[in-house]
Amino acid sequence: MSSAAQRVWITRAEPGAAATAERVAALGHTPRVAPLLRVVPVESPRVDLGGVAALAFTSANGVRAFAAVESSRALKVFTVGAGTAAAAKAAGFRDVLSADGDVAVLGQRIAARRLELGAGAVLHPGAAEPAGDLVGDLTAAGLQARALVLYDSVEVTPDPAFLDGLADIDVVLVQSPRAARALALALRKRDAGHLRLLCQSPAVAKPLARAKVREVVRAPFPIEAALLNLIARGRSPIAPTTAKGAVKLRP
């Protein structure tokens, strides 16, 4: 394996994990797919679009879950980032705006366009335990907003054989706080001092702040493209550690 090539553990749930694996391979790295989360749809959700002026999605999983239970594609759509926007367009939505940021930025972008919403509400279809509090942010900004729970993300325990082979992994991609918590648990009592944990946002990195690994790095922007760009930094100096062995977070 060349000095630039990295062996990358992809922790996100399917079907997104397969798409990320393709992007990692295209960059010349070796993907290892072992999801830490599994998406479980809610049975027979009740979708009420009455009074709704726009939809807000904070993940591609939310887009897919909504598209599976609702045929309407007429509403304006706000998305947290480019990947979620692409999923919305692929699902048939035509009026799609990407915040190109995190959940807080999405809330700010929606609030800035409140005149387009009139007296209508913003519906946030997504997970039972979403990343961030978009509905709370929008309500605090004086907008009408409500959540629609369509799925849950269930933590998955990695195969012990996979964890026994961590020596063959260089980099771990972590794209949600819940996956980060699952990873922190999985790495306990494991020899993981060589691993670089690449996190898509500060919120993702937070549960891993005390992990005994080589370094925990935050992407400069909370999008997958920025996360993938960090993989090639595999030969960077080891980050300084705290007195208890937990690495300091790097921007």
CA–CA dist 183, 144 (Å, integer): 36
Q: How far apart are the first and last CA of the chain?
A: 27
Backbone angles phi, psi at 159, to 5 degrees: -60, 130
DSSP 196-244: EEEESSHHHHGGGTT--SSEEEE-SSSSHHHHHHTGGGTTSPPPPB-TT
State pLDDT tens for residues 140-195. Answer: 999 999 999 999 989 999 999 999 999 999 999 999 889 999 999 999 989 999 99
Catalogue all structural domains in the chain, each as residue range(s) with its CATH number.
Answer: 7-36+157-250 (3.40.50.10090), 39-153 (3.40.50.10090)
pLDDT by position in tens, the chain (length 251): 444 799 999 999 998 899 999 999 999 999 999 999 999 999 999 999 999 999 999 999 999 999 999 999 999 999 998 889 999 999 999 999 999 888 999 999 999 999 999 999 999 999 998 878 999 999 999 999 999 999 998 999 999 999 999 999 999 999 988 999 999 999 998 999 999 999 998 889 999 999 999 999 999 988 888 999 999 886 443 333 332 333 334 44
Sign of CA dihedral 162, 167, 169, 173: positive
Which are the contacts of 69, defined by CB distance < 8 A and separation ≥ 6?
45, 47, 150
Would you state the pLDDT for residue 245?
Answer: 37
Would you state the pLDDT for residue 234?
Answer: 62
DSSP the chain: --SS--EEEE-SPTTHHHHHHHHHHHTT-EEEE--SEEEEEPSS-----TTEEEEEESSHHHHHHHHHH-----SEEEESSHHHHHHHHHTT--SEEE--S-HHHHHHHHHHTHHHHTTPEEEEEEESS-SS-HHHHHHHTT--EEEEEEEEEEE-PPPHHHHHTGGG--EEEE-SHHHHHHHHHHHTTS--TT-EEEESSHHHHGGGTT--SSEEEE-SSSSHHHHHHTGGGTTSPPPPB-TTSPBPEE-
Pair type for strands 37-41 and 145-155 = antiparallel
Cβ atoms of 122 and 132 within 8 Å: the answer is no
CA–CA dist 116, 28 (Å, integer): 44
* pTM for this predicted structure: 0.78
